[in-house]
Amino acid sequence: MNREPIDVLISGGGVAGLTAAAAFGTAGFSVICVDPAPPVTAESDAGADMRTTALLRPSISVLRAAGLWERLAPYAAPLQIMRIIDAGGAEPVARLTRDFDARDISDEPFGWNLPNWLLRRELLARLADLPNVSFRPGVASRNVVTREAGAVVTLSDATQVTARLLIGADGRNSSVREALGIGVRATRYGQKALAFAVTHPIAHNNVSTEIHRAGGPFTLVPLPDRDGIPSSAVIWMERGAEAERLAALPTAAFEAAMFERSTGILGPLTLATRRSVWPMMCQIADRFIGQRSALMAEAAHVIPPIGAQGLNMSIADLGCLLDLAQKTPGDLGSGDMLAHYQRRRWPEVKARVTGIDLLNRASMVSARPLRDMRAGVLGALYSLGPVRRGLMKAGLGAR
């Protein structure tokens, strides 16, 4: 039993939770991070997360301060151009292509893309360098009692920890959120996403391409070359039944379907990893705070993988919490600190969840007139320079 309180207990050892542990640990706070499942840190291992994360430019400063970016940068592919293709005509071919170039607003790329399994590997390596951080895989939060003096959490190994601040980063079905009695508002689309990596004969040239037809976007996101061959991550969103059908196809048939759905923009696509399938939803917690407690990442909000917003919103949560903690270290976990977090993050997250929800619904439309309208709106927005630049800045989280 911990007789003296620690500073921060993080429930959840996914990418967001491990990043929070590194950030608070690097800032000098004492941290315990727990997760019932040990992280999978090799692409070939069972259970590896085949998704990738595009770390947008505002997230890099948080990662750099946490001592993480130097570890991650050598494995990252830059995202210089965000290309949107509308292929919603009678045939699955590109009928409208618009490029959003980071050079229009900055000298740097929009962001950098990395596999999620690799993120976990490098995060664990960073935590091993921090003596004030204890990561405990295979351990879960079992019971949460919050008091004015701190959050008292009983762990699955019977350890009891008292923390000045409890952070719930334990996913969309958060046990911390449930223990705090915080409800959620959820929207389910009957939609799933396939995630995997491919190789292709045509170089991606640091262009991330989102192709819209029906059912959801088909997105190719740059990765570093595989054995000298250009490679990309793919997120393919479809109605649930269609996604399951595609996931079960033999490799040759699946590759043929990929080539058609991608409009052949990078040539024939060769499957380079196994396929994983993820359900799509939007969700936001009714509030992000409780006594001595804060929610972040998917415990607070869940969105479909459109516009690279997911983990970047989580890192924005972390950046806000850490900023408040460092400004008044003596008030870590206080009601005043947490009220500031709620005021700063909840309205911002709500606006982004609403925006992504609308974009996803637009990407799913199957009726030809609605697809034609979608293409027309994209063309009109792109043609207005100030609007185009404003959309790019908004996507990065700039005000």
Spans of all domains in the chain: 6-44+52-71+116-186+281-359, 77-114+190-280+368-396
Q: What is the average per-residue pLDDT within 64-88?
A: 93
> In this structure, is the dihedral angle defined by the CA atoms of residues 89, 91, 95 and 96, taken in order, positive or negative?
positive
Kindly report which listed range (157-171, 205-219, 374-388) carries the lowest average pLDDT score.
374-388
pLDDT higher than 70, residue 379? no
Percent of the chain with pLDDT over 90: 69
Tell whether domain 6-44+52-71+116-186+281-359 is in CATH 3.50.50.60: yes
Q: Which two structure tokens, joined as six digits, stand for 158? A: 């019977």
Instruction: Name the band, by pLDDT with cuts 50, 70 and 90, for residue 399.
Output: very low
Q: Which tens digit of pLDDT belongs to each residue from 104-129? A: 888 889 999 999 999 999 999 999 99
Is residue 377 pLDDT above 90, yes or no?
no
Identify residue 54 by its one-letter amino acid code.
Answer: A
The correct answer on CATH 3.40.50.1220 for the domain covering 77-114+190-280+368-396 is: no
Bridge-partner residues for 2, per DSSP? Answer: none
Q: Tell me, what amino acid is at 208?
A: S
Instruction: Determine the Cα–Cα distance for residues 371 and 383; give it in Å rounded to an integer.
Output: 19
* Of the listed ranges 41-45, 73-77, 150-154, 341-345, the one predicted with least confidence: 41-45
Report pLDDT for 203.
Answer: 97
Confidence of residue 173 (pLDDT cuts 50, 70, 90): very high
Report pLDDT for 13.
94
Report whether 302 contacts 281 (CB < 8 A).
Answer: yes
Q: Please give the pLDDT value at position 387.
A: 45
Mean pLDDT of the chain: 89
**pLDDT score for 329:** 81
Place of tokens 């959801």: 216
In order, the DSSP letters of 165-194 are EEEE-S-TT-HHHHHTT--EEEEEEEEEEE
Q: Which residue has the higher pLDDT, 216 or 225?
A: 225
List for the chain the helix, strand, coil content (%; round to 5): 40, 30, 30
Who has greater pLDDT, 226 or 48?
A: 226
A 10 A CB-CB count for 359 gives 18
Which residues touch 355 (CB under 8 Å, ≥6 apart)? Answer: none
Helix H or strand E segment including 153:
strand 150-155
Q: pLDDT tier at 160 (50, 70, 90 boundaries)?
A: very high
0.85 exceeded by pTM = yes
Q: Taking Cα atoms as reference points, which of 17, 13, 14, 126 lies closest to residue 64?
A: 126
Alpha helices in 209-264 (DSSP H): 240-247, 251-261
Q: Is the pLDDT of residue 383 over 70?
A: no
Tell me the C-alpha distance between 190 and 357, whole Å: 13
Spatial distance between the Cα atoms of 51 and 114, rounded to a whole number of angstroms:
9
The alpha carbon dihedral of 205, 207, 213, 215 has a sign of: positive
Rounded to an integer, what distance in angstroms lies between the CA atom of residue 247 and that of residue 276? 8
Q: What is the mean pLDDT of residues 339-345?
A: 97
Split at pLDDT 50, 70, 90, the class of 380 is low
Separation CA 314–CA 192 (nearest Å): 21
